Structure 1
């Protein structure tokens, strides 16, 4: 989420009857609460000051789980893992499987990247939005 999107959130709450809005994107969570106009302006100033901290260095990003389920690094116990640390992954390439309700859901990468770390273990339960891989976009 960039500064322009955050400013749009502030404008939405200023122009509406909303008293509170919470937005989550990846590991970033923003909660805006209207008590009076001066507080909203203070939030906007604080957001502008903290924008540099929020930005991730070296295009570091995460591949997250789109569903709740069980993580599998390979299609079967006999086959090698879809990806390992150091692998280069192309957009659309499968990186793992998340089983939910006895359905095997192949998780594909949304962008070209390099796998920097696998953040979960094989057969581990995962939550919606939980980071599975730390990657560097290329």
Structure 2
């Protein structure tokens, strides 16, 4: 049986895609999602299939539709006098894959780089773990790290900026 979070992710994927209908069957359970009309909604229908021992009269049952509404929340933060202005940078080191970013080779070690660290083209700045493979990410430029954009252990997307570098 799919977990609620997995069903929500499927709804988002179907909603964002050009697919009008999606059906998934596993272990006697069927999940069907359909978009209706011009609206972009996905309606999950979960049915458990059980063996029937005797004939049963069937009646048409209307399947419930679930409308997915996107809510955008804005978070306002107060700026204090202690905050630094946005860093001046020439280059962003981005994640080459989806995964989890680690700033050090193991939990007991220091971070590969911190703000203010000098880097060369072949300097390892972090590790991105994807599917149990640990991929070392190199700076690809020489310069100074002026901003660290991702926390240790945070999930990152393909192309997401990880560090900002002021080149030499």
Indicate which of 60, 63, 72 corresponds to 2:90.
Answer: 60
Indicate which of 135, 140, 157 corresponds to 1:127.
Answer: 157
Does residue 114 of structure 1 match 2:144? yes
Structure 1 residue 130: deviation in Å? 0.3
Q: Structure 2: where are the runs of 5+ without partners? A: 1-87
More helix by share: 1
Q: In structure 2, what is the Cα distance between the partners aligned to 1:80 and 1:94?
A: 13
CA contact (8 A) 2:89 2:146 kept: no
Distance 1:59 1:81, change over 3 A: closer
Structure 1 residue 59: deviation in Å? 5.6
Q: In structure 1, what is the Cα distance between the partners aligned to 2:141 and 2:154?
A: 24
Q: Higher RCO, 1 or 2 (CA under 8 Å, sep at least 6)?
A: 1
1:91 is aligned to: 121
Q: In structure 1, what is the Cα distance between the partners aligned to 2:89 and 2:101?
A: 25
What is the root-mean-square deviation of aligned Cα atoms in Å? 1.5
Q: TM-score, normalised by structure 1?
A: 0.57
Runs of 4+ in structure 1 displaced over 4 angstroms?
Answer: none
2:112 is aligned to: 82
